[in-house]
Each structure stands twice: as structure tokens, then as C-alpha cells.
Structure 1
């Protein structure tokens, strides 16, 4: 009896040793680096996906916040990590402006990271505290013209598409506003709700819970049409600023050289995790985000276009990192 049990145990161990991928998957920890602080939309997307990823990848999934320098600090950690499928980057739209924003970036966004998936996006929106004297964006413009640099707005950081969009709108309106960058959307929202800044710009996904809860009032949205849950809020085009659409986006990258099978495995796991009814409902209905769930190649093409489009605006405005 003991001999049979011992042989069975040795056989099972041999099977595990013959399948190192299985053994590694069951004992490893997968790290998802979010290059912004807790409380923002990027952090929320990562944590929403992590439970589903853990179930599908058979590993402990840890979300690690490493903020600073428009997301380049966290991204650099991933770029320099071993390409073994254990470290991934889930980042935000400012990732595309790093080459233009930093004088000497510590890594190359196009060559030192491999694309995995464009998760999706959410239009930018502007919101203020309900007791502020702004009922719409025209009121903001009037106040900024009357008090140049006297109207402040927060954003999730220098070089984000939200920051760039406010620069474009301010210039088009002939008004000067003071920009206050934050290391995360959570910090920006906290100060907007507290009234430390006159208003803030952030993704609709970030702002909607606070708008729904009554702690913020929407003033403007940058989507091509009004979101269902912002049906009474003008788009930029309706407010007199055509061709100024801006959508925040989230994407996943891997260290350069990560094996294709690992990239494809993560892509498939993300697709399944974010397609679950609860996750999809949170993304598309609660946060009014647009799910894309792209292939790695599709993200690669999209990202190159973003680097070209927004990098030029960063240079033209001479924007510096936080």
C-alpha cells in the first residue's frame, strides 16, 4: 500500500516537472504596474480586471502603483523588467506623450515595450463643485477672460490628453486658465470636490461616480456625441469648439521580447475577464467607457498614431513634466 502511494506521488511529481509552465503558473505572482497613484481610472481598470485575470492565469495578480513623471517612472520599471510574462504595464493616454514631454526619457515607448491590448477609452469631461458659479462652460470662459489665470483646473497630470484639450479650448476661447497637475485622478477629484481647484478635467469614467453622487457638476464633454449619463451636458463642438474631441484610453504593454505565447495568453485572459457581465457593466454603463479589447497589432498601430498626434501638441505648448 505504501509502495503504491509512493509511486503515485513520484508519478504526479514527474508530471509536474514535465510541465514547468503549469507549475510556474500555479506558484507565480504576476505584477501589473499602474504608473499612477490609487483612486484614478487607470487604477480602477487594473483592479477590475485583476480578479478575472487571477482566475484565468492561475497566479496571484498584484496591482502595483508607481506614480510620477507622467507615468514614465512606472513604465520604465516594466521596460527594464525581465520579459518572462510576470510583469505588465497597464497605463493611460499620457504614455503617448512621454517622448515629447521628457527631455531624456529613460526608455523608448515604441521600441522598449511590446503592445498587448488597447482596453478601451472614455471621453474627457470637465466638472466643478455644485456651489461654484459655473452652470456651463460658457460661464467658465467668461470668468477666465475677466480674471486671466484666476480660474484653476486640475488634471491627472501634465501631458495627458485632458491637459492638452484644456490648452486647446483655452486658446480657442481667448482665455487663460491656471493648470494644476496631479499624480492621479483620485487626487485631482479629491481637490475638485473639496473646492481647492475651480474645476477639473478627467475621463467620464473617473468623474461620473462623483457627478451621479452630486459632489460634482458636469460642464463640458469631449466626445463626438453626448453620453447617455451626461445627456444635459454640451459636447465641445456644441459649445463652439469643433474638432476638439478627446478620449482617455487605457492599454496594456509588456517588456520588449516577452514571448508571443505569453502576450497572447494575457490578451486572451484580459478579453475574457473584461467581457464578464459584471466587468462589462461597470465599464460600459457605470463608467460610460467604450470597450475595444484589441489585438496586440491593433494597439501597436493605434499607439503610433497617438504618439504622432499628441506629441506635436506637447512640443508646441512647451509642456514640461509634473
Structure 2
């Protein structure tokens, strides 16, 4: 009996720190893991909501960029973190294809991470340097067929939604182009503006300012409808490719087994910050449409994105290492 009591005491002692942390939550320090370099859209969103969340939660939030392997390095760090409401993961659309492009992914996206919310969505834009002779998507496709070796296009990375969309578009149109991988959006945009690359596909969040400054010419967008910031740019559906809709997205996750009340509380505060007028205006100006969903919607959305785009990855034999 005494032996059992000692075990109970040891177990209680081990559980005490976690229980204390849970009791004081949300006070104390939190961490945002952004699995891409500083300066990108995920990083911008994290830094935009950071002050409001700190105020609403009464805590300090540290932003940590852990870039690499299409976001899976940061994802692994959060998957291995304690489920105590202290660590949160921002993800991009590659989160849905990483399990297919990386067979040795060191975590299970379905069980080791819990969805918090779909933060928002935005269409991709296919654009080129304004000096290029093609004015429409049809002209771009025709020109690519006439060029030996086809055109080179830049995207956010291997198996990103932009990359996969261009593969589908080539298959359906007969366009000739090859993927040119860049380490981040900034160098890709710079090369597109300079004309060093034939075209670029990237989200409105990346290209809107360059298009507004007339440094790039938009030829098509990939959403189901025209985005409010680009009302004159046709969709792929309008351009003759029925059902070819691809919407980049940004989401938020917690370590697996994080208590649902913590997730709901954090999601509610995050949603409130996203709806603050100054935050909403700045996010909309980036070309991103706020969704701020609940966790269940995020889970269903992720499952559907994995199903659709995972198949495209498999059909094309893509991997993060091999591209």
C-alpha cells in the first residue's frame, strides 16, 4: 500500500508543473512558430496580430521563424511541443501536401497537430514583366508552345498550390513551361520584375503591390471569382478552364491533444483581433480574405485540400527534395 502511495505522490509531483501552467493560462509567455522566413505573408500576419493578442490575453507572445522543408521543420517543432496552450503554429497551403511530398515527415499532420482556425484565403495570380508581348493568358500559353524548351515560371516552392496549379494548367492547355524553384518570394518577384524569369505565380498577398505599381502585368487569377483588388483580371475558369480553382490559404494549429477549451479561447481572441478595423484593413490590403473559421471547419478544409492536391503531387511524382 505504501509503495502505491509513493507512486501516486511521484505522479502528482510530475503532473503538478503542467497543472499549474494550465491553471494560470493564458497568463505567461506564448510562442508563435512561423515555419517560413521573416518577411513572408505568414510572418506578416503573425506580427500584425501579435500586439492585439498580447493585450487581450494578458501575455507576451514571441515570434520564432523556423524555416525549411516547405514548413515541416516548424511543424515538427510544434508537434513535439507540450499541449499546454503555449505554442501555436501558422501554416501555409504546403501543409496539406507535405505528408505526400515528404514520406519521412517526422509527425502525423492529422493526430500530432490540432486545427485552430482557417485564418484566410487569397487567389494566386499569374503575372509577367510588362515588356513581354503577351497580354492575355491565351497569348501566354501560345507563346510558351512556340519557345524551344518552353517558359520558366517561379512559384512559392515545390508542391505549393502555385506550382501544382501550373502543372494542371499545362496538362489541360498544352502549355510548355518548367518550374524554377526560388528560396522565398522576394527573389522570385525581383527576377520576375527584372524579366529574368518568364512568369510568376504567387498570391495576391505577394503580387498586389507590384501589380499596382505596374511592375508586373497580371494575366489570370486562380480563385472561383475575381478578387476585389483585381476586378479586371479574369479567373482561370473564365479563361476556358472549367473547375480549375486553386486558393492559397493560411491556417493556425496547436500541438496535438491541446485542451479544446484552450483552443476555443485562443481562437475567439484571435478572431476578435482579426476583426479589428485596423487589422482587417491591413490584411485586406494584402489581398487576403479573412475567414477566421472554427476548428472543425479547418479540419474538414484541410482534409479536402489534402485529397485534391495530394493526388496532383502523386500524379507528378513530386518531392520537396527532388522538386
Give TM-score, length-normalised by structure 2: 0.88
- C-alpha contact 1:115 1:254 (8 A) present in aligned 2: yes
How many residues of Structure 1 are paired with residues of Structure 2 in the alignment? 303
Q: Which residue of 2 aligns with 1:57?
A: 57
| Residue 98, structure 1, aligned to residue 94, structure 2 | no
Q: Which residue of 2 aligns with 1:42?
A: 42
The runs of 5 or more residues in structure 2 that have no matched partner are 1-19
Q: Which residue of 1 aligns with 2:10?
A: none
* Distance across 2 between alignment mates of 1:25 and 1:73: 26
| Residue 313, structure 1, aligned to residue 312, structure 2 | yes
Cα distance change, pair 66–288 in 1 and its aligned pair in 2 (3 A): same
| Aligned-residue RMSD, C-alpha | 2.0
* Cα displacement (A) at 1:214: 2.2
- C-alpha contact 2:26 2:85 (8 A) present in aligned 1: no
Deviations 1:200-253 (A, max 9, x none): 111112211211122221111011222232122121112221110110101000
Q: Which residue of 1 aligns with 2:141?
A: 141
Question: Per the alignment, in what secondary structure is the counterpart of residue 36 of structure 1?
Answer: coil
* Cα displacement (A) at 1:116: 0.4
* Distance across 2 between alignment mates of 1:279 and 1:39: 17
* Distance across 1 between alignment mates of 2:188 and 2:82: 33
Cα distance change, pair 45–148 in 1 and its aligned pair in 2 (3 A): farther
* Distance across 1 between alignment mates of 2:95 and 2:66: 14
* Distance across 2 between alignment mates of 1:66 and 1:190: 23
Report the more deviating stretch, 54-63 or 252-261: 54-63
Q: Which residue of 1 aligns with 2:293?
A: 294
- C-alpha contact 1:148 1:177 (8 A) present in aligned 2: no
Q: Which residue of 1 aligns with 2:175?
A: 175
Cα distance change, pair 255–27 in 1 and its aligned pair in 2 (3 A): closer
* Distance across 1 between alignment mates of 2:209 and 2:290: 18
Report the more deviating stretch, 186-195 or 209-218: 186-195
Q: Which residue of 2 aligns with 1:85?
A: 85
* Cα displacement (A) at 1:24: 6.1
The runs of 5 or more residues in structure 1 that have no matched partner are 1-18
- C-alpha contact 2:33 2:74 (8 A) present in aligned 1: yes
Question: Per the alignment, in what secondary structure is the counterpart of residue 122 of structure 2?
Answer: strand
Give TM-score, length-normalised by structure 1: 0.88
Q: Which residue of 1 aligns with 2:189?
A: 189
Q: Which residue of 2 aligns with 1:283?
A: 283
- C-alpha contact 1:68 1:183 (8 A) present in aligned 2: no
* Distance across 2 between alignment mates of 1:316 and 1:80: 31
* Distance across 2 between alignment mates of 1:191 and 1:294: 36
* Distance across 1 between alignment mates of 2:35 and 2:124: 19
Q: Which residue of 2 aligns with 1:235?
A: 235
Cα distance change, pair 206–259 in 1 and its aligned pair in 2 (3 A): same
* Distance across 1 between alignment mates of 2:296 and 2:208: 31
* Distance across 2 between alignment mates of 1:25 and 1:186: 36
Deviations 1:83-123 (A, max 9, x none): 12111110111100011111211111111100101111001
Cα distance change, pair 126–144 in 1 and its aligned pair in 2 (3 A): same
Question: Per the alignment, in what secondary structure is the counterpart of residue 247 of structure 1?
Answer: coil
* Cα displacement (A) at 1:289: 2.4
- C-alpha contact 2:25 2:85 (8 A) present in aligned 1: no
* Distance across 2 between alignment mates of 1:126 and 1:204: 10
Q: Which residue of 1 aligns with 2:165?
A: 165
Question: Per the alignment, in what secondary structure is the counterpart of residue 233 of structure 1?
Answer: coil
- C-alpha contact 2:100 2:310 (8 A) present in aligned 1: yes
* Distance across 2 between alignment mates of 1:136 and 1:47: 36
Cα distance change, pair 173–87 in 1 and its aligned pair in 2 (3 A): same
* Cα displacement (A) at 1:73: 1.2
The 5 Å alignment of 1:255-294 reads: 255-284=255-284, 286-294=285-293
Q: Which residue of 1 aligns with 2:11?
A: none
